Amino acid sequence: MLDPSSFIKESIDEIKKTIGDKKAIIALSGGVDSSVASVLVSNAIKENLTAVFVDHGLLREGEAEYVQETFKERLNLRYIDASEEFLGKLTGVEDPEEKRKIIGEVFIRVFEREAEKVGADYLVQGTIAPDWIESHGDIKSHHNVALPHGMVLEVVEPIRELYKDEVRIIGAEMGLPDEMVKRQPYPGPGLAVRIAGEITPEKIEVCRKANAIVEEEVQKVGLDKTLWQYFAVLTNTKVTGVKGDIRDYGYLVVLRMVESLDAMTADVPELPWEMVKTISRRITAEIPEVTHVSLSVSDKPPSTIELA
Ligand code: XMP
């Protein structure tokens, strides 16, 4: 059984011993894992940890403000708006894996610039147990990473033995707000994995608004406590609709809400019909570019959780 206060105390001692007076850097995504790892290390080495929050222009609504607000008193936080750099590289790209690859590459470039500025020796990562167990244990516990320009950082993974529920307990014990430690997992590439086809500013806006509506309505009925993830996908399909008396031609949005323990498998549970209908009505009423909303009922496998 995890004893949160001794875990925190022992981790802080260990981190102090490892990093000493040197500088460390972490990519803070705003997700539970990197948030808890950041705060834990910051409690040990204070300002010597720089938490870099990169805005790739694919964040959900209000996320940049939320992360800055939540962490400004707790971390030496650097907010980097690199959205133009990311979106420029994504122009014209349709293939989902290619999009992920580009986002990963630009991310490393942006992050490396900050690591150089900081003069970091250590890279803190919010790796948790399923991350390396699922990759058949081949992520070593002691390793270095070389950044593209040759900078070598020693990796520190303070929560690598923990599972998600334990990470949440540690976060709560360190005083992170409840809604932060309990928030749904959010993929690193953000809305990119929820937009089919080319990513354009218009599609980002539509997808962002639809996701905000889903989150709001799911939270209203309290299902955020039991669902693993709940979101809206903007398909690349346009369908006919009618708004007012006029025939319209707009996007098809797919609602995806799943239960899961670890994202390896997922089930679509029975959902309150009134909530589903409210989400559908709101999306088509509040987002003029959308004419149709459908609900995904596919489990994983054979489907994946994300669609793009
Ligand atoms: P799939 O779609 O593979 O997703 O069933 C499993 C879990 O992983 C998340 N996901 C990602 N996370 N980068 C990430 O950081 C990605 O490219 C990515 N693709 C999927 C997804 O949200 C789910 O929790």
User: What's the pLDDT tens digit per position in 217-229?
Assistant: 999 999 999 999 9
* Tens-place pLDDT, residues 6-22: 999 999 999 999 999 99
pLDDT at 137: 67
Domain that residue 85 falls in: 4-181
* Tens-place pLDDT, residues 18-40: 999 999 999 999 999 999 999 99
Q: Is the sign of the CA dihedral 290, 291, 297, 302 positive or negative?
A: negative
In this structure, the answer to whether residues 122 and 202 fall within a common structural domain is: no
pLDDT band at 243 (very low <50, low <70, confident <90, very high): confident
Instruction: Find tokens 């040990």 and name the residue.
Output: 44
DSSP collapsed to 3 states, the chain: CCCHHHHHHHHHHHHHHHHCCCCEEEECCCCHHHHHHHHHHHHHHHHHEEEEEEECCCCCCCHHHHHHHHHCCCCEEEEEECHHHHHHHHCCCCCHHHHHHHHHHHHHHHHHHHHHHHCCCEEECCCCHHHHHCCCCCCCCCCEEECCCCCEEEEECCCCCCCHHHHHHHHHHCCCCHHHHCCCCCCCCHHHHHECCCCCHHHHHHHHHHHHHHHHHHHHCCHHHCCCEEEEEEEEEEEEEEECCEEEEEEEEEEEEEECCCCCCEECCCCCHHHHHHHHHHHHHHCCCEEEEEECCCCECCCCCCCC
pLDDT at 138: 67
Q: Which of 162, 156, 175 is nearest to 71 (CA)?
A: 175
In this structure, the answer to whether residues 231 and 279 fall within a common structural domain is: yes
Indicate which atom in ligand 1 lies nearest the CA of residue 307: 2
Query: Looking at the 3D structure of the chain, how many domains does it have?
Result: 2
In this structure, the answer to whether residues 281 and 158 fall within a common structural domain is: no
The answer to whether position 144 is within a domain reads: yes
d(CA 232, CA 254): 6
Q: Is the pLDDT of residue 230 over 90?
A: yes
Arithmetic mean of pLDDT, 225-248: 95
In this structure, the answer to whether residues 211 and 283 fall within a common structural domain is: yes
248 lines ligand 1 (CB under 6 A): no
Domain end marker among 181, 203, 236: 181
The answer to whether position 156 is within a domain reads: yes
In this structure, the answer to whether residues 175 and 201 fall within a common structural domain is: no
pLDDT at 284: 97
Arithmetic mean of pLDDT, 136-143: 75
130 lines ligand 1 (CB under 6 A): no
Instruction: Find tokens 């320009």 and name the residue.
Output: 149
pLDDT at 140: 76
How far, in Å, from the CA of 127 to the mean position of ligand 1? 15
In this structure, the answer to whether residues 135 and 48 fall within a common structural domain is: yes
How far, in Å, from the CA of 148 to the mean position of ligand 1? 25
Q: Are 24 and 120 in contact (CB under 8 A)?
A: yes
197 lines ligand 1 (CB under 6 A): no
In this structure, the answer to whether residues 8 and 146 fall within a common structural domain is: yes
In this structure, the answer to whether residues 34 and 174 fall within a common structural domain is: yes
pLDDT at 1: 84
CATH number at residue 25: 3.40.50.620
* Tens-place pLDDT, residues 273-306: 999 999 999 999 999 999 999 999 999 999 999 9
In this structure, the answer to whether residues 17 and 83 fall within a common structural domain is: yes
How far, in Å, from the CA of 153 to the mean position of ligand 1? 26
Percent of the chain predicted with pLDDT > 70? 99
Arithmetic mean of pLDDT, 115-121: 97
Q: Is the pLDDT of residue 139 over 90?
A: no
Q: Which of 122, 152, 97 is nearest to 23 (CA)?
A: 122
How far, in Å, from the CA of 69 to the mean position of ligand 1? 26
The answer to whether position 305 is within a domain reads: no
pLDDT band at 126 (very low <50, low <70, confident <90, very high): very high
pLDDT band at 77 (very low <50, low <70, confident <90, very high): very high
Q: Is the pLDDT of residue 104 over 80?
A: yes
191 lines ligand 1 (CB under 6 A): no
Arithmetic mean of pLDDT, 162-179: 96
188 lines ligand 1 (CB under 6 A): yes
pLDDT band at 142 (very low <50, low <70, confident <90, very high): confident
The answer to whether position 303 is within a domain reads: no
In this structure, the answer to whether residues 171 and 202 fall within a common structural domain is: no
Q: CB neighbours (10 Å) of residue 126? A: 25
pLDDT at 231: 98
In this structure, the answer to whether residues 60 and 90 fall within a common structural domain is: yes
CATH number at residue 240: 3.30.300.10
pTM: predicted TM-score of the whole model, two decimal places = 0.93
How far, in Å, from the CA of 187 to the mean position of ligand 1? 5
d(CA 281, CA 35): 35
The answer to whether position 304 is within a domain reads: no
How far, in Å, from the CA of 186 to the mean position of ligand 1? 8
Domain end marker among 181, 216, 244: 181
241 lines ligand 1 (CB under 6 A): no
In this structure, the answer to whether residues 174 and 216 fall within a common structural domain is: no
Arithmetic mean of pLDDT, 189-214: 98
Q: Is the pLDDT of residue 124 over 90?
A: yes
The answer to whether position 189 is within a domain reads: no
How far, in Å, from the CA of 269 to the mean position of ligand 1? 19
The answer to whether position 300 is within a domain reads: no
How far, in Å, from the CA of 306 to the mean position of ligand 1? 6
The answer to whether position 187 is within a domain reads: no
Residue owning the nearest CA to atom 9 of ligand 1:
187
**Cis? peptide before 96, omega within 30° of 0:** no
308 lines ligand 1 (CB under 6 A): no
229 lines ligand 1 (CB under 6 A): yes
CA 173 from chain centre, in angstroms, equals: 22
Domain end marker among 181, 210, 236: 181
- Over the chain, what is the mean pLDDT? 96
